[in-house]
Structure 1
Amino acid sequence: MKILSWNLERPKKNQFTKINHIKSLVKAENADIIIVTESNYCIDFGEEYFVLKTDILPSFHDNQNYFEGENRVSIYSKFPIKKQIPTYDSLTSVCGLIETNFGKLIIYGSIIGSLGGKGFHFKNDLQHQKKDIENLHGNICFSGDFNISFSGWKYPSQKVIDETKDFFNIQNMKIITENNKDSAIHTVINNEFLADKIYTTRIIEIDRNLSGP
């Protein structure tokens, strides 16, 4: 099973070159589950994927201007999505139960702090997303743009890093991307699901104009 998590850096519906590059990279990776942040409803990876998306953003929200079709998080899954699970904010995170070859798995896709790893929106998102995770039952994959770097550059602060690590430890979840240096894009999976499985992670180096998955 292959999971791809990527911040798309807010593609616009008329940016055909950028969108085609995004689709080409995703097709080449052939991922089973894709979590994209700062996305747009115009992004489509084909009929082989079931899809869950956060709501389309209004033209002005959280002190930011948005263009037509922009949304914060989308989940694409080759595995059937059995149901959508409500989250604290339908504009900022999306969650669904899928049926994988390894059993049922809850995918929680999010961006924590749409303006970066500091300020009210970051703290509010982090607090409420932790509560969402605490209230879920079963195997969980929590993935997206955390705006937290667990290795390398200490962003946004050592305190936030330590507190977030402690939270996942208490939830018996592993940050499988923890050692990806200077990366804010992460995937966290509970240890029960990872038991007896071999897994690897890698950062795909691409043009910075497309961000990095």
Structure 2
Amino acid sequence: MKILTWNIQRPKKAKRLILDKLAQYNADIVVLTETNIIITPGKEYNAIATESLPKGHDGIAYQAGENRTTIWTKYKIVLQHKTYDAFTSVCAQIETPDGLLNVYATIIGVFGGMGERFKSDLGNQLLDFEKLSHENSLCIVGDLNVTFSGRAYPSHDARNKLNNAFEKGNLKNLTSEIENNVDQIVLSKDFIKNKKVTLETWNHDKQLSDHIGICLTLS
């Protein structure tokens, strides 16, 4: 199984290099953040997304077709869980070969890791994580705007709060050792038990977007 996440920095057109990179990794679950309906990984994928963003939402001049988070998957989507903010986070229960998996795809802090909006997003999403950790296996994935190694961004407090939530929910952050990286893939420990985890990253020169892309393989 492959799980991919990438913040593609609000593309205004279907960038061929982005689509080529998605095709190259051919992941089973793809989470794109700061995305647009013009970016589609292929006809073999089902999709569930946050609400389309009206121009001026949160004071941002969004263009037609933009949304914050989309889950694309080759697997069957069984149902959608409600999240605290339908414009920012989306959660789908997905039927994988290894059992049901709740995929919570999100951005924490739509203006980055600073300010009251980040604190509000973090607090509310921690409540979402707690509720969902009691139902089936859980994957938290997307732009968390928090680093877990290297420089502590935005703060040690934010890092500690998320680490405590992951521990409480029996979750493991599988991308925590990628230095100065804010995009994360977190999975229930039971779901990854006895599996080999491999990580691949790209866009280190930040030419395709201002974030690296990450693909995790479970084998």
1:115-126 superposed matches below 5 A: 115-126=111-122
What's the CA shift string for 1:53-101, capped at 9, x where partnerless? 1011010122222111110000000111111111111100001011111
| Superposition CA RMSD, Å | 1.1
Residue of structure 1 in register with 2:195 after alignment:
197
- The answer to which structure, 1 or 2, has the higher relative contact order (CA under 8 A, 6+ apart) is 2
Q: What is the distance in 1 between the residues matched to 2:116 and 2:207?
A: 27
Q: What is the distance in 2 between the residues matched to 1:61 and 1:81?
A: 28
1:143 to partner: Cα distance: 0.1
| Aligned equivalent of 2:127, options 116, 127, 131 | 131
- Paired letter, 2:48: L
Residue of structure 2 in register with 1:26 after alignment:
22
| 2:31 maps to 1:3 | no
The change in CA–CA distance for 1:206 and 1:182 in structure 2 (over 3 A counts) is closer
Residue of structure 1 in register with 2:68 after alignment:
72
**3-state DSSP class of the match of 1:97?**
strand
Contact 2:50–2:67, Cα closer than 8 Å, also in 1: yes
Q: What is the distance in 1 between the residues matched to 2:158 and 2:204?
A: 28
Q: What is the distance in 1 between the residues matched to 2:29 and 2:99?
A: 14
Count of matched residue pairs: 209
Contact 1:180–1:203, Cα closer than 8 Å, also in 2: no
Q: What is the distance in 2 between the residues matched to 1:197 and 1:180?
A: 20
Percent same amino acid at aligned positions?
Answer: 40
Contact 1:147–1:156, Cα closer than 8 Å, also in 2: yes
**3-state DSSP class of the match of 2:181?**
coil
Q: What is the distance in 2 between the residues matched to 1:157 and 1:69?
A: 33
Contact 1:22–1:210, Cα closer than 8 Å, also in 2: yes
TM-score by length of 2: 0.92
**3-state DSSP class of the match of 1:208?**
coil
- Structure 1: which 4+ aligned runs deviate by more than 6 Å? none
- Paired letter, 1:59: K
Contact 1:177–1:186, Cα closer than 8 Å, also in 2: yes
| Aligned equivalent of 1:163, options 157, 161, 164 | 161
| Aligned equivalent of 2:171, options 170, 173, 182 | 173
Residue of structure 2 in register with 1:110 after alignment:
106
